[in-house]
């Protein structure tokens, strides 16, 4: 089937891109792995009742308007669709159920969102230790909270938000361990004037922190030397606060140190990326409308660079306008006129970003794990082994992968990729741009052999 525009990802950026493009008369297909629109941020928002909305907050509820707009737009949607390959001719192959379908796109919007940054520290691979975002997904999808004594460790807005949501939901949060560097607040101060453009976000953050203080859960700030302790599963958390080691009995440890763009698909397409020293992550090179280094391919939302859900919605609209202009559906004057309000909103929504990136930068000890700390949990490859690969002459993650199997597991390097790039860059004395990232090959996700065996792209009997 041929489409003017295929959008991959139904989070805020993907939804607004599909809605805007359909409104301009484009034939649109929106693909997403989940069963319904919303992405991770607005997961199952249409089904959320009053209790869920109270727990998850007003920002979560705003996703309903985006889903409603998508449903009314006339854009074709396909949920439960796992993209496995996109050719240079923009032919998209995706798994639905037990088979593979294909769609040909004249223009493509990549809106694959973000993923949590890996947090390699001693004990992070133990059962009972999980990303804070995963706990939030369980809360949104199934109204499930971790049982027993819960510790939340890390830094960033999601660290605060998940702590608040779990406390509202009745979880037994026995301790909050904030790992941000003590000097980050001072370093962030020069960014305060630009952050005032996002004053509503600042007020929300202050309100969230005030609510957490009122909850009276023990909250330690400026911590390091984090360690999960256990044999079969985690049973305690150890950390250092103001020079003193503290150990507490727990049943579940939730960890969060920020999010990074999910760039598997953009790597597969061969798009130009650059390393951001501000966000300590790869970003896709693109213009205001999301036009990438590959003609016909646009990127929108946190999959390009981290800016948050509100900015993602604006970037999705801008990407759709850019695609419509590339197809000749609108002229340059109409493009600028339609984009003006969204560009202004985007400027407001991103004003706070430099402050947040500085205030919640991952701590140095997390970026330089001890040699015996596991970095690639799929293949159980340690930080020391990655450093050994650099010492042996490996020029980057791909050579290291060949010799050590680091990044060869089921996650295909999604989890460890950023950490491996940073470790090798540190060891080799090079920049992450010089070291590079894992090369991505199809299929993007592991496929059952039955699906591969039944794939018949030419339609032959």
**How far apart are alpha carbons 429 and 423 in whole angstroms?**
10
**How far apart are alpha carbons 196 and 351 in whole angstroms?**
7
Which neighbouring-strand residues pair with 395? none
Is-cis flag, bond preceding 443, omega within 30? yes
Question: What does the pLDDT read at residue 458?
Answer: 60
Task: List alpha helices for 24-99, DSSP H.
Answer: 50-56, 58-61, 63-73
Question: What does the pLDDT read at residue 459?
Answer: 55
**How far apart are alpha carbons 253 and 362 in whole angstroms?**
18
Ranges for all domains in the chain classified under CATH 3.50.50.60: 2-115+260-330, 118-257+355-359
Ranges for all domains in the chain classified under CATH 1.10.10.1100: 368-435
> Thinking of the domain 368-435, which architecture would CATH place it in?
Orthogonal Bundle (1.10)
**How far apart are alpha carbons 379 and 407 in whole angstroms?**
7
Which neighbouring-strand residues pair with 8? 31, 110
CB 90 within 8 A of CB 296: yes
Q: Which CATH class is domain 2-115+260-330?
A: alpha beta
pLDDT in tens, 273-283: 999 999 999 99
- Only one residue has tokens 């004990």, namely 123
CB 39 within 8 A of CB 345: no
Question: What does the pLDDT read at residue 26?
Answer: 98
CATH 3.50.50.60 for domain 118-257+355-359: yes
Q: What is the pTM of this model?
A: 0.95
| Consecutive 10-residue averages of pLDDT for the chain (461 residues) | 98 99 98 97 94 93 97 98 97 94 98 96 97 96 95 96 96 96 94 93 92 90 96 97 97 98 98 97 98 98 97 98 98 97 96 96 95 96 98 95 94 95 97 97 90 72 47
Backbone angles phi, psi at 438, to 5 degrees: -60, 140
Rg (CA), the chain: 22
């Amino acid at each position: 089937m041929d489409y003017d525009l295929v959008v991959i990802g139904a989070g805020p950026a993907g939804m607004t891109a599909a809605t805007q493009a359909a409104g301009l008369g484009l034939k649109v297909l929106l693909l997403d792995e989940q069963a319904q629109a919303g992405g991770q941020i607005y997961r199952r928002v249409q089904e959320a009742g009053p209790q869920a909305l109270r727990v998850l907050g007003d920002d979560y509820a705003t996703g309903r308007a985006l889903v409603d707009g998508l449903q009314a737009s006339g854009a074709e949607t396909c949920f439960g669709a796992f993209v496995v390959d996109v050719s240079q001719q923009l032919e998209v192959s995706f798994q639905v159920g037990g088979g593979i379908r294909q769609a040909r796109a004249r223009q493509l919007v990549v809106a694959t969102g973000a993923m949590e940054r890996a947090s390699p520290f001693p004990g992070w691979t133990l059962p009972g230790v999980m990303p804070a975002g995963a706990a939030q997904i369980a809360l949104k999808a199934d109204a499930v909270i971790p049982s027993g004594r819960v510790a939340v460790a890390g830094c960033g807005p999601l660290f605060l938000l998940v702590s608040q949501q779990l406390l509202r939901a009745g979880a037994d949060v026995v301790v909050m361990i904030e790992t941000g560097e003590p000097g980050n607040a001072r370093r962030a101060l020069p960014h305060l004037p630009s952050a005032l453009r996002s004053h509503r976000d600042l007020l929300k953050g202050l309100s969230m922190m005030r609510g957490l203080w009122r909850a009276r859960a023990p909250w330690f700030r400026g911590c390091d030397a984090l360690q999960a302790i256990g044999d079969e599963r985690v049973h305690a958390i150890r950390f250092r606060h103001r020079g003193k080691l503290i150990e507490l009995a727990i049943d579940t440890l939730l960890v969060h140190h920020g999010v990074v763009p999910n760039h598997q698909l953009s790597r597969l397409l061969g798009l130009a990326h650059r390393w951001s020293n501000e966000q300590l992550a790869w970003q896709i090179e693109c213009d205001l409308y999301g036009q990438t280094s590959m003609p016909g391919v646009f990127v929108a939302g946190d999959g390009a660079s981290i800016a948050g859900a509100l900015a993602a919605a604006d970037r999705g609209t801008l990407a759709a306008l850019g695609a419509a202009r590339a197809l000749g559906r609108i002229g340059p004057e109409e493009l600028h006129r339609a984009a003006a309000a969204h560009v202004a909103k985007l400027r407001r929504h991103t004003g706070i970003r430099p402050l947040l990136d500085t205030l919640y930068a991952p701590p140095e000890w997390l970026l330089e794990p001890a040699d015996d700390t596991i970095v690639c949990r799929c293949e159980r490859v340690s930080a020391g082994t990655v450093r050994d690969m650099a010492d042996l002459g490996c020029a980057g993650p791909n050579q290291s992968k060949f010799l050590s199997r680091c990044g060869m597991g089921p996650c295909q390097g999604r989890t460890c990729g950023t950490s491996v790039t940073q470790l090798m860059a540190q060891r080799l004395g090079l920049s992450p741009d010089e070291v590079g990232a894992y090369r991505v090959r199809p299929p993007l996700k592991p496929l059952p052999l039955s699906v591969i065996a039944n794939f018949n792209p030419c339609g032959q009997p």
